Structure 1
Amino acid sequence: MQIPEPWTDCESLEKTAELTGFDMAAPDAIDGFSSRIIRAMDKDIIEVIYQTENTDEGEIRIRKGVGGEDISGDYNRYAEISTVHVDDLRVTMKGADGQISLAIWTSGGYADSIGLGGSADGVSSGEMSALVAAVR
């Protein structure tokens, strides 16, 4: 017996808003990433994945979901954890060697995350802050 796929692929963020009952902003494109996948999980999570042409090279995964728990799906232990302010948001950034691989925050009853996956190197705190500002 196979577990049903919980994600529904969507052609736009507007469609995810119809499915979930809330919206999310995300960049149309990110330099260095050739494709964008938009999907929703029930009425709980919106996810946008940016991938390189060779998906082993890395990806950026942006999520927004109902509640206040970490929805990143990233269970790695990071050597460096800091809290920064991006506008009025208090964002927890995690990484190593001065490079950020994960940002998580909550706002208005929703949890958000931006995670770098695959073999993608982390980014600077400033670069991650710019991504967080674009997702608000």
Structure 2
Amino acid sequence: MKHIFIATVAISVLFIGGSTQAMPSPLVTYTSVRDAWAVVGLPVYTPTLLPVGYVQKDIIVIDKSLAEIFYRNDAGKEILFRMAKGDADISGDSTIYEVNQIVQVGRQYIRVKGTEKLVSLALWSRGGYTFSLSFEEPISIEAVQAIISTIPWN
């Protein structure tokens, strides 16, 4: 038993001691939306309108398959825009919302989730790509429709 303990301690020291290489992070930060989207193989479809006070902060690619942009206001509230290939829910939000309905923006159908009057999450697919918008501070359905309508579809 003493030998097993000593062997375990020796192995632990090897791993903790810094002689091992850390796994690369699946999250890579970019300074350009165009560069980040190119890594994932996505066309640059991003909203050009956001609620007043929100500015782009972080651009991240996860596992070379999902691209996201964090927008933040002065109060620290965030909006998260995500895009990937496919049609799955990429939001990462498993909250069960009071309201879960489909609304229309032009010819596009959007699933919105939130309360009777405010949206916390919007999901949609278009042209082989899937999208989500998450709002830390919920906004009106009309505001969500306005934001999505500004995405320039090539």
2:37 to 6, 11, 17: 17
Match of 2:133 in 1: 114
- Amino acid in the other structure paired with 1:53: D
- String of CA shifts for 1:29-86, please: whole Å, max 9, x gaps: 742224421122233111011012343xx20000011111100111111001111111
Match of 1:98 in 2: 117
1:8 to 11, 28, 47: 28
Q: Name stretches of at least 5 consecutive residues in structure 1 with no aligned partner.
A: none
Contact conserved, 2:47 with 2:148, CA < 8 A, in 1? no
Q: CA separation in 1, counterparts of 2:56 and 2:23?
A: 27
Q: CA separation in 2, counterparts of 1:13 and 1:96?
A: 31
> 1:39-78, aligned counterparts within 5 Å?
39-55=60-76, 58-78=77-97
SS at the partner of 2:45?
A: coil
Larger radius of gyration: 2
**How many equivalent pairs are there?**
131
Could you say what the CA RMSD is over the residues aligned between the two structures, in angstroms?
Answer: 2.1
Contact conserved, 1:101 with 1:116, CA < 8 A, in 2? yes
Q: CA separation in 2, counterparts of 1:34 and 1:14?
A: 17
SS at the partner of 1:91?
A: strand
Q: 1:37 to 1:28 in 2, by over 3 A?
A: farther
Q: 1:11 to 1:131 in 2, by over 3 A?
A: same
Q: 1:28 to 1:109 in 2, by over 3 A?
A: closer
Deviation at 1:97, TM superposition (A): 3.5
The structure in which a higher percent of residues are helix is: 2
Q: CA separation in 1, counterparts of 2:134 and 2:123?
A: 9
Q: Name stretches of at least 5 consecutive residues in structure 2 with no aligned partner.
A: 1-14, 16-21
Deviation at 1:6, TM superposition (A): 1.5
Q: TM-score, normalised by structure 1?
A: 0.84
